[in-house]
A and B are shown apart, each in its own frame.
Chain A
Amino acid sequence: MPGKLKVKIVAGRHLPVMDRASDLTDAFVEVKFGNTTFKTDVYLKSLNPQWNSEWFKFEVDDEDLQDEPLQITVLDHDTYSANDAIGKVYIDIDPLLYSEAATVISGWFPIYDTIHGIRGEINVVVKVDLFNDLNRFRQSSCGVKFFCTTSIPKCYRAVIIHGFVEELVVNEDPEYQWIDRIRTPRASNEARQRLISLMSGELQRKIGLKVLEMRGNAVVGYLQCFDLEGESGLVVRAIGTACTLDKLSSPAAFLPACNSPSKEMKESPLVHPPSHGCRSTHNSPIHTATGSRLTQNFSVSVPTLIYTGMGSGSAGKEGGPFKALLRQQTQSALEQREFPFFTLTAFPPGFLVHVGGVVSARSVKLLDRIHNPDEPETRDAWWAEIRQEIKSHAKALGCHAVVGYSESTSICEEVCILSASGTAAVLNPRFLQDGTVEGCLEQRLEENLPAGCGFCHIPYDELNMPFPAHLTYCYNCRKQKVPDVLFTTIDLPIDATVIGKGCLIQARLCRLKKKAQAEANATAISNLLPFMEYEVHTQLMNKLKLKGMNALFGLRIQITVGENMLMGLASATGVYLAALPTPGGIQIAGKTPNDGSYEQHISHMQKKINDTIAKNKELYEINPPEVSEEIIGSPIPEPRQRSRLLRSQSESSDEVTELDLSHGKKDAFVLEIDDTDAMEDVHSLLTDVPPPSGFYSCNTEIMPGINNWTSEIQMFTSVRVIRLSSLNLTNQALNKNFNDLCENLLKSLYFKLRSMIPCCLCHVNFTVSLPEDELIQVTVTAVAITFDKNQALQTTKTHVEKSLQRASTDNEELLQFPLELCSDSLPSHPFPPAKATSVDYSSFADRCSSWIELIKLKAQTIRRGSIKTTVTVEKASPMGEGNFRNRSAPPCANSTVGVVKMTPLSFIPGAKITKYLGIINMFFIRETTSLREEGGVSGFLHAFIAEVFAMVRAHVAALGGNAVVSYIMKQCVFMENPNKNQAQCLINVSGDAVVFVRESELEVVSTQQPTANCQPSCTGGEVTT
Chain B
Amino acid sequence: MAAELEELLGFLSSPSPPVKKAAVDIIRDYTGSEDGLQMLGKCCGVLLPSLSRLLAEKKEVSEPAAEALVNLSQNSDLAKKMVDTGVVETAMEILYKENCEITGLLVMLLVNLTQLDAGIDSLLQSGDEKMKGLYIMKLVRSFCTSSSERRGDPFEHVASVLVNISKKEAGRKLLLDPRRGLLKQIIRQFDSVSPLRKKGVSGTIRNCCFEAESQLQNLLLISEFLWPALLLPVAGNKIYSEQDASKMPLELASALSIEREPVADPDIRVQALEAIYLLVLQEAGRRAFWSVNGPRILQVGYEDEGHPKVMEAYEQIGALLLQESSSGD
- Say whether A and B bind each other: no
